[in-house]
Amino acid sequence: MDNVIPPTIDVYLAPGDLRAAMEADVRAGLTATPKQLPPVYFYDDRGSRLFDEITRLPEYYPTRAERAILEAHAKDMVESAGADVLVELGAGTCDKSRVLLDAMQSCGRLGTYQPLDVSDTTLWDAATALSEEYPGLAVRAVVGDFHLHMDELTAEGRRLIAFLGGTIGNLDPAQRSRFLDGLVGAMRPGDRFLLGTDLVKDGARLVAAYDDSAGITAEFNRNVLHVLNRDLGADFAADRFTHVARWNEAEHRIEMWLRSDDACTVRVADLDLEVGFAAGEELLTEISTKFSPDALRAELESSGLEVEATWASPGDEFLMTMAVRP
């Protein structure tokens, strides 16, 4: 194919780094009160397949709502940003990026795409496919952690940095503050930040989105225990833990927990760690913060960004925000 630019990939996270982070996270989380695990460990191959199923469920609106905004307004976003470089944080399979890349192509701004993710295999497959799909596009992938490697996103040009999927809601307020500080520190004047966030709404609707009638989200939640069993030699009886989704009104967030059906002791062989669970004790596996537009604007502006535009989905379910570093 004419003008296909071979992709490149820079690796800043080796398998040993990921293993060390997992060991540290699991040891700290299982010995905390309450016990907790970071949501990143949901996403092995099985977990990623389950999450893909979740995004297609009738109860789970965020993926559809964000996609609708992108399809309706991607050209406006690209033109207002004046961007010829698209950077995507937590890119995964880069599926949503195609909507923005299509808009860049139609505007004559298709230059560079720089996705960042922790999975080198997923990222390389996506980078190879995109290079072939978009002749003339330079794909410069980065295997890294957006908490640690933002400074490695060095593509030259006018940059639009996208953080999609409402993923920022998985961070608590202190983590969000650190993330935004790191982001702004890595941005150049004139760079734009495109952020997808879920909005506060009726608690029952939110809980339904995270506790679907088919039980797919419950299986996704328990998958983290299967990951620990396989990767760290743990002996969780996953079917003895019940999925719980709860709306925390005070913190404006959905919380996912795993509740131990009975008293048990879990051994994590690779950590030489034994952890006791009381009957009914819960393990926090994910938070998903929901925002109001005003609170989100205040949070972004306190980090040094200026909000330029917002786009809401029908029914004000989901919001996309464009902010600039002055």
Q: Which tens digits make up the pLDDT trace of 157-207?
A: 999 999 999 999 999 999 999 999 999 999 999 999 999 999 999 999 999
Residue 25 lies in a domain: no
Domain-embedded: residue 22 = no
pLDDT band for position 14 (50/70/90)?
A: confident
Considering the domain architecture, whether residues 221 and 317 belong to the same structural domain is answered as no
Shared domain for 102 and 189, answered yes or no, is yes
In terms of domains, do 272 and 315 share one?
no
pLDDT (tens digit per residue) in 196-243: 999 999 999 999 999 999 999 999 999 999 999 999 999 999 999 999
Mean pLDDT (the chain, rounded)? 95
In a domain, 1, yes or no: no
Q: What percent of the chain is predicted at pLDDT more than 90? A: 90
With respect to residue 20, please indicate whether it lies within any of the assigned structural domains. Answer: no
Residues 99 and 54 in one domain: no
| Measured distance CA(164)–CA(54) in Å, rounded | 17
- Is 159 exposed, middle or buried (CB count within 10 Å of its CB: 0-12, 13-18, 19+)? buried
The pLDDT assigned to 1 comes to: 53
- Do 220 and 122 reside in the same domain of the chain? no
Taking the C-alpha atoms of residue 221 and residue 237, their distance in angstroms, rounded to an integer, is 13
Which residue has better confidence, 315 or 104? Answer: 104
Query: Which residues constitute the domain of residue 48?
Result: 33-58+203-289
* Residue range 139-158: mean pLDDT, rounded: 94
Separation of alpha carbons 314 and 149, rounded Å: 35
Rg (CA), the chain: 20
The pLDDT tens digits for 83-142 are 999 999 999 888 889 999 999 999 999 999 999 998 888 889 999 999 999 999 999 999
Domain count along the chain: 2
CA atoms in the 13 A half-sphere facing the CB of 268: 21
